[in-house]
């Protein structure tokens, strides 16, 4: 049994086996509550020695864990689900304090995380192989799935609890052991989650946690005992992790950044369309990989959408996510605020007009208000830039085909949506559009836990995606056994 810990939430510690250890590396990022400017603690830079110790602990735990019957392994996940539900309010508050999103958004991410735990409880069915008798006289063939060994999970800041749960429940239910490297900007939520995992009675070393930045990631990518790497983050880092991890022979899945479009047709319902798109663009302060970033109005939709989205954006209440009245929180850091403000200025300089301008918000806290950029020229580099803030561009196309081509030209392929009351237009769009997640009258087409999170193009590097059946495939190797048992070799009764 791993020992419970009593460290305070201002300290960032690593879990190696059953020990919560203070980091041995230099201090790295200052951790600031983005809504208040309050200093919460410091993330360490991380070191190869700490990674090595965590990987060794995971490696040592692997033989015993994989040998445990699968029905027993999933009991820890049933307990985790219960514990997460019991601690939902406290977990949500930890997320809000370090990430800035509203409490309602934090609870929603935890719900999706719990859903992944639930799906992983189905591993006794999901992990089954297949078999066939008499492939030749007296010979049978069987395919079984077996765990890989030590798996690394590297996660971003925007969903501090949900994204670790896109991977860890599946990895451990299938018999692997894990080293989690959470975002160095939000280490507390992940640590709290891992503490709950230990509270389930999980054997020592099945889940380990190392904090840090690039040195920690590099050490995981190069470690010979790490068999697989699951990564979620920005596209440049995703590409880097994919290349470096694959070069050392690991199985790697990397989800990258996004620039998501929604297309609004003239026959869309104005009221619900506006509300759903505003939620998608400004929820999480625009820091969601499925947030809409560009709305393409088609035909006369142009006439009503600009006005209605401007009114919706201007009416949102921005504030500390702990305040129940707040509908949108701050962006993650002051540097991020400055970057988003500069990009809005760039858009305005390139011919767009900021019909709602969120640049004027005052601190404390790294707040940018909802912003709508109207008429960004197609050639503007901003059309391709992931802003990752509460900024929605509105552009126009003459037809659905032109809108689909616009999306085709994007280097990203995470998500797109269409708003329409025409079944034929919806069908054409979902069939032709070049993104892996597609919505029809949906603002955030986030796949449920039993479907794969299907980014395409520059939004995903690898073969198997996060969640559901893809996760089972990713975390297991197939083994095929061909068996002959001649009668004459067997004892006769
Ligand atoms: P990020 O790429 O900065 O960081 C992700 C992880 O990589 C973190 O753990 C970080 O510590 C580490 N890291 C950062 N720089 C590194 C480097 N140079 N070398 C090695 N490791 C490094 O991403 P972020 O800012 O935390 O998260 C936001 C990004 O994640 C956005 O681009 C967003 O679209 C993307 N995202 C994608 C999905 C998806 O499903 N496609 C989901 C959530 C977030």
**170-196 pLDDT per residue, tens:** 999 999 999 999 999 999 999 999 999
Q: Spell out the residues 6+ positions from residue 326 whose beta carbon is closer than 8 angstroms to its own.
A: 102, 317, 318, 319, 320
- pLDDT at residue 425, as a whole number: 97
Atom of ligand 1 nearest to the CA of 154: 9
- Ligand 1 centroid from CA 38, angstroms: 24
Tens digits of residue pLDDT in 425-472: 999 999 999 999 999 999 999 999 999 999 999 999 999 999 999 999
Question: How far is 104 from 83, CA to CA, in rounded Å?
Answer: 19
pLDDT at 2: 39
Task: Please tell me the predicted confidence (pLDDT) of residue 295.
Answer: 98
Ligand 1 atom at minimal distance to the Cα of residue 332: 25
| Cα 331 to averaged position of ligand 1 atoms, centre (Å) | 15
C-beta of 184 in contact with ligand 1 (< 6 A): yes
- Mean pLDDT, all residues of the chain: 96
The confidence score (pLDDT) of residue 363 equals 80
Q: Can you name the residues that pair with 95 across neighbouring β-strands?
A: none
- Residue 215 C-alpha to ligand 1 middle, in angstroms? 15
The whole-number average pLDDT for the span 285-303 is: 97
Rounded Cα–Cα distance for residues 354 and 345 (Å):
9
* Distance of CA 231 from the midpoint of ligand 1 (Å): 8
Side-chain-facing half-sphere of 492: CA atoms under 13 Å: 2
CB atoms within 10 A of CB 7: 13
The ligand 1 atom nearest the CA atom of 255: 41
Question: How high is the pLDDT of residue 362?
Answer: 85
Q: What is 387-415 written as a DSSP string?
A: --SSEEEEEEESSHHHHHHHHHHSSEESE
Query: Which of the listed residues 156, 217, 222 should we mutate to test ligand 1's pocket, taking the one with most ligand atoms within 8 A of CB?
Result: 156
Query: Does residue 11 register a pLDDT over 50?
Result: yes
Scan for tokens 């616009």, then name that residue: 406
Q: CA–CA distance from 444 to each of 246, 282, 329, 402, 454 (Å)?
A: 31, 11, 18, 22, 13
Let me know if 259 is exposed, middle or buried by CB neighbors in 10 A (0-12, 13-18, 19+). buried
Six-digit token string for 164: 């670790």
Active site residues: 289
Examine the pLDDT at 3 and tell me if it is beyond 70.
no
Q: Which residue has the tokens 């986030």?
A: 446
- What mean pLDDT do residues 217-237 have? 98
Which of 209, 234, 339, 467 maximizes ligand 1 atoms within 8 Å of its Cβ, making it the mutation to test the pocket? 234
CB of 156 shorter than 6 A to ligand 1: yes
* pLDDT tops 80 at residue 1: no
Determine the Cα–Cα distance for residues 281 and 333; give it in Å rounded to an integer.
19
Q: Which two tokens stand for residue 391?
A: 């900024």
Residue range 15-27, pLDDT digits in tens: 999 999 999 998 9
C-alpha to C-alpha distance for 445 and 260, rounded to whole angstroms: 11
State which of 237, 391, 435 you would mutate to test the pocket of ligand 1, scoring each by most atoms of that ligand within 8 A of its C-beta: 237
pLDDT range class, residue 492, cuts 50, 70, 90: low
Predicted confidence (pLDDT) per residue in 119-146, tens digit: 999 999 999 999 999 999 999 999 999 9
Q: Is the pLDDT of residue 6 over 70?
A: no
Cα 21 to its chain centre, rounded Å, is: 27
Token pair, residue 149, equals 């060994």
Q: Which pLDDT score is estimated for 493?
A: 56
**Contact (CB, 8 A) for 100 and 283:** no
Q: How far is the CA of 157 from the centre of ligand 1 (A)?
A: 7
């Amino acid at each position: 049994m791993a020992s419970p810990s009593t460290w305070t939430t201002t300290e960032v510690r690593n879990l190696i086996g059953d020990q919560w250890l203070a980091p041995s590396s230099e201090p790295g990022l200052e951790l600031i509550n983005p809504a208040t400017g309050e200093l919460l603690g410091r993330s360490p830079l991380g070191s190869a020695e700490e990674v090595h110790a965590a990987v060794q602990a995971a490696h040592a735990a692997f033989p015993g864990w994989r040998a445990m019957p699968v029905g027993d392994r999933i009991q820890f996940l049933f307990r985790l689900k219960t514990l997460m539900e019991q601690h939902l309010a406290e977990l949500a508050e930890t997320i809000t304090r370090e990430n800035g999103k509203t409490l309602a958004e934090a609870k929603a991410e935890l719900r999706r995380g719990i859903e992944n735990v639930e799906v992983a409880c189905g591993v006794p069915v999901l992990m089954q192989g297949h078999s066939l008798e008499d492939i030749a006289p007296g010979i049978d063939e069987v395919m079984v799935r077996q765990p890989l060994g030590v798996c690394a999970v590297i996660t971003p800041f925007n969903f501090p609890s949900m994204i670790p749960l896109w991977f860890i429940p599946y990895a451990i239910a299938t018999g692997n052991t894990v080293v989690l490297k959470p975002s160095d900007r939000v280490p507390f939520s992940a640590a709290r989650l891992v503490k709950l995992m230990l509270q389930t009675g999980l054997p020592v070393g099945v889940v380990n946690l190392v904090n840090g930045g690039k040195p920690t990631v590099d050490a995981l990518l190069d470690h010979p005992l790490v068999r697989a790497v699951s990564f979620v983050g920005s596209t440049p880092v995703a590409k880097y992790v994919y290349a470096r991890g694959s070069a050392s022979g690991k199985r790697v899945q990397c989800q990258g950044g996004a620039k998501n479009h929604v297309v609004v047709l003239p026959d869309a319902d104005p009221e619900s369309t506006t509300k759903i798109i505003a939620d998608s663009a400004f929820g999480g302060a625009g820091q969601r990989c499925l947030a809409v970033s560009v709305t393409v109005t088609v035909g006369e939709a142009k006439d009503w959408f600009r006005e209605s989205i401007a009114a919706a954006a201007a009416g949102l209440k921005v504030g500390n996510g702990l305040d129940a009245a707040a509908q949108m929180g701050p962006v993650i850091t002051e540097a991020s605020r400055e970057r988003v403000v500069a990009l809005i200025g760039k858009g305005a300089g390139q011919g767009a007009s900021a019909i709602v301008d969120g640049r004027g918000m005052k601190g404390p806290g790294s707040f940018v208000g909802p912003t709508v950029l109207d008429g960004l020229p197609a050639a503007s580099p901003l059309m391709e830039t992931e802003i990752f803030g509460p900024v929605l561009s509105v552009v126009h196309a003459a037809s659905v085909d032109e809108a689909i081509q616009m999306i085709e030209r994007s280097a990203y392929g995470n998500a797109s949506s269409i708003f329409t009351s025409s079944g034929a237009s919806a069908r054409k769009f979902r069939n032709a559009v070049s993104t892996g997640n597609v919505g029809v009258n949906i603002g955030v087409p986030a796949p449920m836990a039993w479907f794969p999170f299907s980014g395409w193009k520059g939004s995903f590097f690898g073969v198997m995606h996060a969640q559901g059946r893809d996760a089972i495939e990713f975390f297991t190797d197939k083994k095929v056994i061909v068996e002959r048992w001649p009668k004459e070799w067997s004892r006769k009764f």
